[in-house]
Structure formats: structure tokens, C-alpha cells
Structure 1
Amino acid sequence: MTSSWLDLPADHPYGITALPYGVFSGADGVRRVGVRVGDQVLDLGAAAGSTGSGTARLWQQPSLNALLAEGKPAWESARAWVVGLLSDPELRAAVEPHLHHLSDVTLHLPVEVADYVDFYASEHHATNVGRIFRPDGDALTPNWKHLPIGYHGRSGTVVVSGTDIRRPVGQRRPPTEDQPVFGPSVRLDIEAELGFVVAGGTELGSRVSVDEASEHLFGVLAFNDWSARDIQAWEYVPLGPFLGKSFASSVGAWVTPMEALQAAKTPLPQQDPRPMDYLLGDDLFGLDIAIEVELNGSVVARPPYSTMYWSPSQMLAHLTVNGASLRDGDLFASGTVSGPEADQRGSLLELTWSGEQPITLPNGSTRTFLEDGDTVTIRYSAPGADGIRIGLGEVTGTILPAD
């Protein structure tokens, strides 16, 4: 077990086995890259300068994109260097002055998002949605077990945790009306997901295989894909999600490198029928990540990511099989994470069964969908190295009234 000169409990969720990256600013307002350790953030650019490292240019940036562009060997070297900074007692005097308490800094969007794709990789979520909207038909569409379904989202509306979310307006058709109306969404929802940060640009027309995916998967972050279900329901036929999704997607401020998640890798559920060859390989894996969904301070669901049907490597392989190129800072999300039990559903659409079964909060109030002033926080954790459970951050947002 690697030890640190920091005064942290051995089982701290943000100890030396986690070390997620983020972007922060202090009183000077200058954004730069740091790494979270305990309840502090280490200014990596300043630490590089004080220890004579030649990596300062990677950290004195307003996003992680410069590091992403360096490729996997550089990511591994950078992590080893950070571990060394925090474990070598001879470096303590040079490093410790560059630690800042989280309460003294402002956290920012960690990645300059290039493209954003959202998948639909949970069989339990897809089955629940199918049963809600097609009660007399098949829960899963015929294509669902043949390919990771997804849609291309709007990267410009990806916002960092803590950003307030304005209730969207748009067209919707109430079930009692023949014609659509215009106004604020009345079925505003959450989607507890996991985001994957992608790097390593590829040429247009090339493909990334399942076994090449690890060269491009940098890390994970908390993700909430806010959804206006009523706007979505009216618009999505025949081309799919648009304004019901594109108004905001919230991400956590911390990106946990895939290297920190080796102990969290787990076998996928059985995939039947057998996927096509381009979706097969040696590097197929799930992730044993626990998720906790909190509404106004009360936990309403605990979705397990380990139940997801499609692997991140399959999602990336499918994303590029048509020759779509990758760029540093691409982001894809898993889709709503839901488990087989009623309290493991990652959206209010499922938790309330499309509003037919309201949930009751401890203060006696009930919810079918989100109301103005509601705050949603989603937290993540996973098994880490040395048997220590690590924190993967959280994503939070509060609903503001429509303009």
C-alpha cells in the first residue's frame, strides 16, 4: 500500500489511490489544473515549478485538454509523478505550500468538450421505459441488444456541477389536448449517468476497435443528463431527442483516471444474442460503481453501474465504426443507470412510473417530476487499489423557474 505524508485516514475516499483531476481558480481568478487529495486541491503547475518538473505547461492550462492530447503513456507518467509528489517525504516542503482547501477555490468545467454523445446502455432502464410507453408491446426495441443505441448531443450546454439549471420551455402536447402548447416543461427529470472523457484524435474514416478503446478512454466523471420529458415526447418522432435534452447536461468537477478504476472492473452481464464482431474483443468490461441519487437532501435511488449491458469499450467502438473521428475532449455518457429493483432506478420517469406513483420525501411533500427550487445531487464511489473505496465526485444542480 502506497502511503502519503498527508495526514489523511488510510481509507479516505480521496486519498492517494483516487487522485482525480480538475480545474480550479483561486483569488486571482486564473484557471489551472489541480488534483484532489482529501479536502484539498494541489496546484500541479506550481508543484511542477517548485520540484523542477518539466510538465508545468500541461497544468498551467484552463482545461485538461493539453494533458489529454499527450496520450496514454503520458497520462500514466503524470499519475505516477503526482503519486510521488504526495508520497515522497523529501518533497513535502516543496509541495505542501501549493495545497489549497476546497472551500478556498472555485471549481470549473474540467474539460473543453469537443463532441458529446449520449448512450442508452442500461437494459433495466430501457426495459422500464419500454414498459411505460409501450405497455402492450415489446419492452425493448428489436435493435437494442444488437448495438449500443445513442444520439449526438450538444457540447456547448455541458456545465459544471453547481450550475443552476433554468427550467426549459418549448412545445409539448398535453395528453388531454389535440394540439401542442408552448411553455415551461412540466415533466422535468434527471438521468443519473456516468460520463467518459475521451482523448487521442483519430482521422476521419478510421475506426477504434474494442481493444484499442483503452488508448482513448482517459477517465470518468459524474453526469446528470437533465431531460424535459414532455418536450422530448412531442419532438422525438421521427428523429430523436433534441430540445428536450440539449438545454443542459451537468458534469462533476473531478475526472477520475481509468487507471484508478482497475479494481472496479467487473465482467459484463451475458450478452445474448452474440454481438457483431466489431463489438467483440479482449477488453470488454463493466464497472462496479455505486451511485446515490439525492433529491433535496434525501436519497431516492441507488443505481448500480455494474448492471449496465454495454461496455464503455463497445460504446466507443460503435461510436467510431462508421468512420466518425475522435477529438481530444470528446465526451460520451452511458445513459441512465438503473438496476433491477425499484429503488435502483436512475430517473424520476422510472421511480414514479411516469408520474403515476409519486415518491414521498421525508418532509411529507411528493414528487412526480422536478419542481422549481429542487436540488439534485448524484454521488459516485468505486472499489480502488489496496481495498480502499474511492470517491468519484458528485454532480449537483438546482432548478430555477423558466424565464
Structure 2
Amino acid sequence: MKSFIHVSEESHFPIQNLPYGVFSTSNQPKPRVGVAIGNYVLDLSILEDKGYFKEIIQVNKKIFNQPSLNPFMELGKEVWTKVRKKLQLLLSEDESKLRDNDELRSEALILRKDVTMHLPIKIGDYTDFYASKEHATNVGIMFRGKENALMPNWTHLPVGYHGRASSVVLSGTNIRRPLGQIKLPDQSPIFEPCRQLDFELEMGCVIGGGNQLGEPISVEEAENHVFGMVLVNDWSARDIQAWEYQPLGPFLAKNFSTSISPWVVPLEALEPFRVAGPVQEPKPLEYLDQTKQGSFNIELEVYLKSEKMKAPTQICSSNYRYLYWSIAQQIAHHTVGGCNLNPGDLLGSGTISGPEKESRGSLLELTWRGQEPLQLEDGEERKWLEDGDELTMTGFCQGDGYRVGFGEVVGLIQPALNKEQVINKKETALNN
């Protein structure tokens, strides 16, 4: 399958992908829905206005002339599939309707470099899992020793926690170093900027169709509720987390920011790259026992660029297939107690680490809690992220002569707020 639009073999956005995003342009500032194809964005609101989806989408409102993907996602898998097939037909090299219509092409196809991307989904809830056995083992060894690396429940259920949807931000948003309480050895807690700022290499699945309260989603039906996937960087303040997480879990250490990529890759685009995940031992309980292969062969890379560096250095190379618990198992467990998921909900995978040192998906692991600093190409070293550091994550599936990719998720670290100003705000409020 080829598009009439030239797409290089290295591009993340061939006709086999067609990820969805929300964009605007300088002459049309209202955000609307498009798909990426090569170096272009195809404006679906234009095609919608011209009736290209009238036989598929039979609702009395605009679906693609919207500031989020939520109205489209709410229509369900059957509609997603039909729209995707229609788009692939329109963009194929053998179809003339768009290829030979100069006026329509000039109106509907916009260079990606000329658009501004927006958060693609309206996120109602965000859940972050802890689905990598290698990551959980590494962290457990650091804090509890080899004998007690994994907690007793870890191989029996997908461990997770409810995060903060309001601070999920789009790639390119600067990340401010958080303030919080830090407990140094043999000292009382102090209020300081985070000293151990970290990234977490993750992926997120976007829920398209939800479930009713009290009605669980089965592990075999779970993927029918997934619209697509994005790259996720779940920024973490390790020193704040170490003091606050007992006994309930992450709070300020996680809620200051989570970055996602702008393009949502449909689950259907990943189907050719489906693989088996790790062997699960012991066998999961029946409601988690997935019969089909539940993972995907997605190559993942992380790059770091300091203020002094001319080019970024690759610091991590991992793969989505290392995850122990699958998307379907995460959804089945999430809903088995009756919890309802809604269109736009985001489920993070948790840090994706592999068996080799270079495949560890966080600085916590790569530097082994700061004891083994990373050596960067210009002679600098890193234990933790510093102000001015720019972190870039990317991921793709490699096909025969094409790639299905996710683009990038990028974040630049900014200095923390002045703690004295924060304290002075309290004093000002008291005086008023």
C-alpha cells in the first residue's frame, strides 16, 4: 500500500499509520482534527464539510471540526475502522478523487511545519501502571534488596495508581522543576526544589469507548475499547517521592507534569507488529488470562541534550514488548471491580525497561540511583536531570520498507520557582 504523497522510508507517518491529532493554522486558528501523512496534515474537517464521511458518520453534528478527538472516539470501533479505510483509499496512489483534485488538495493538505499541534484528547482521568518487571525489579533491589525486589502481589495483578489528568501536557511544553518536601538522611524534612528530577519512558493507551459503572470489561474485549496509543514521559521527582509515598503512593512527585506526544496512533496500525509479551508465571487468575498475543514490537529511544551540547545523546534504547502486563490485562483489572472508563481516559504503561542496562527507562535505573553517572558525549555527566536539559523520546514499529511511528515527545527543564516567593505568597495571603 502506497500513498500518492511521497513518504520516505524513515518517516513515521506513511499510509500504513495515519495517526490522529488536533491542529490549528495561523489563518485558521480554531483547532480541528487531522491525520499525519508524510510531511503533511490532512484536514479532516474539510473532507467532512464536503461529505466524504456522510455514509459512515450519521450524527447531526460536526465530528472533526472539534478541539479534541473525543467526539470521534465516542462513535466506537466500527466507525473508527470505516473512517481509517476511507482515508487510506483517498490517499492511495491509485485513487484519483483527492490526488487529481488540485483545489481540494491545496485546501485539505497542509505542511506539518506550518501547523500548531494541540493536546489531542480531553483527558478525564489518568491512570499510571507499573507494568515492567525489569523496572519493578530494579527499583525493588535498590530500595529493598534482591531477596525482596518484587512485592508479593506484583506477578499476580497489574499494579497502578490514579494520576492527575489536569497536568498532562503536550510535547514541547516546558517542565518546571517542582518544589516539595525532601527528607535527607538523619535530618528533618526540608522544603526545597527537587534535586533528583527524572524521566520515565512510557507509552499510553487512549480509551475510545468506555463501560458502564459496575460492568467490567473482559480481557478478551478490552482492546475493542482502545482508540490508539501515544508516547508518554511521566516526569518524576525521586527525592520528593521517597519521602511522601509511604503509605499511599505518588503525589507531588508525579502530579506536576506528564508529557504526551501529539499524534495518536490507531491500534489497527500496530496490528502487523503484534507479538507475545513475556511469559507470565504464575499463570494469571482467570479474569486476567489473555489467550491472544498482547504486546507490540515498538522500538523506543530516549535522547538527552544539555545547554552546552550541540546535538542530543542517546541514553536509552528499549522496546514496548518488554512489558509484563498487557493493555488488555490493565483494562480488565482496572474495571473488574466496577470502575467505569470513559472516552479520553489515558492509561500509562509505567516505565518500560528491558534486560540490558541501556534499555532501562529512567535515570533512576540508568545511573543506579545516582551511583553510576551517565557519561555524555561532550564530557558532561548526569545523575539526574538538570535545568536546561532537553529530553526527547521517540518510538516506531519497523515494517518492510516503512515505519509506523509516534513522532516525538519533548520536554525542556526549567528552574523551580523561588521557594521564598512561594512562602511570601502565604504571608501576603495571611496579611490580607
Whole-angstrom distance in 1 between the partners of 2:146 and 2:356: 22
Contact 1:210 1:283 in 2 (8 A): no
Please list, as runs of the form range in 1=range in 2, the aligned pairs for 1:336-375 lying within 5 A after superposition: 336-375=351-390
What is aligned with 1:334? 349
Whole-angstrom distance in 1 between the partners of 2:326 and 2:146: 30
Contact 1:50 1:95 in 2 (8 A): no
Residue 142 of structure 1: CA displacement?
A: 0.7
What is aligned with 2:309? none
Q: What do the CA deviations read for 1:40-83 (whole angstroms, capped 9, x no partner)?
A: 11111112323543258211000000111000001101111111
1:215 aligned counterpart, secondary structure: helix
1:202 aligned counterpart, secondary structure: coil
Rate the CA distance shift 1:393–1:9 in 2: closer, same or farther, 3 A. closer
Q: Which runs of 5+ in 2 are unaligned?
A: 306-311, 418-432
Contact 1:187 1:230 in 2 (8 A): yes
Whole-angstrom distance in 2 between the partners of 1:136 and 1:302: 25
Residue 101 of structure 1: CA displacement?
A: 1.1
Q: 2:84 aligns with which of 75, 79, 82?
A: 79
Q: Percent identity?
A: 47
Contact 1:51 1:95 in 2 (8 A): no
Q: What do the CA deviations read for 1:309-332 (whole angstroms, capped 9, x no partner)?
A: 111100010010110001110110
Please list, as runs of the form range in 1=range in 2, the aligned pairs for 1:304-343 lying within 5 A after superposition: 304-343=319-358
What is aligned with 1:45? 45
Please list, as runs of the form range in 1=range in 2, the aligned pairs for 1:376-387 lying within 5 A after superposition: 376-384=391-399
Rate the CA distance shift 1:341–1:266 in 2: closer, same or farther, 3 A. same
Whole-angstrom distance in 2 between the partners of 1:347 and 1:301: 8
Q: How many residues align?
A: 400
What is aligned with 2:62? 57
Contact 1:207 1:322 in 2 (8 A): yes
Task: Say yes or no: does 1:24 pair with 2:33.
Answer: no
Query: How high is the TM-score relative to the length of structure 2?
Result: 0.90
Runs of 4+ that moved beyond 4 A: none
Please list, as runs of the form range in 1=range in 2, the aligned pairs for 1:165-244 lying within 5 A after superposition: 165-175=175-185, 177-244=186-253
What is aligned with 1:286? 295
Residue 136 of structure 1: CA displacement?
A: 5.6
1:30 aligned counterpart, secondary structure: coil
What is aligned with 1:149? 159
Contact 1:293 1:299 in 2 (8 A): yes
Rate the CA distance shift 1:131–1:10 in 2: closer, same or farther, 3 A. closer
Q: Which runs of 5+ in 1 are unaligned?
A: none
Q: 2:98 aligns with which of 78, 83, 91?
A: 91
Residue 387 of structure 1: CA displacement?
A: 5.8
Residue 269 of structure 1: CA displacement?
A: 1.1
**Considering only CA atoms, is the larger Rg found in Structure 1 or Structure 2?**
2
Residue 12 of structure 1: CA displacement?
A: 3.8
Rate the CA distance shift 1:49–1:333 in 2: closer, same or farther, 3 A. same
Whole-angstrom distance in 1 between the partners of 2:289 and 2:145: 33
Whole-angstrom distance in 2 between the partners of 1:14 and 1:110: 17
Whole-angstrom distance in 1 between the partners of 2:52 and 2:13: 26
Contact 2:215 2:338 in 1 (8 A): yes
Please list, as runs of the form range in 1=range in 2, the aligned pairs for 1:93-172 lying within 5 A after superposition: 93=101, 95-97=104-106, 98-135=108-145, 137-172=147-182
Task: Say yes or no: does 1:277 pair with 2:286.
Answer: yes
Tell me whether 96-105 or 265-274 shows the greater mean CA deviation. Answer: 96-105
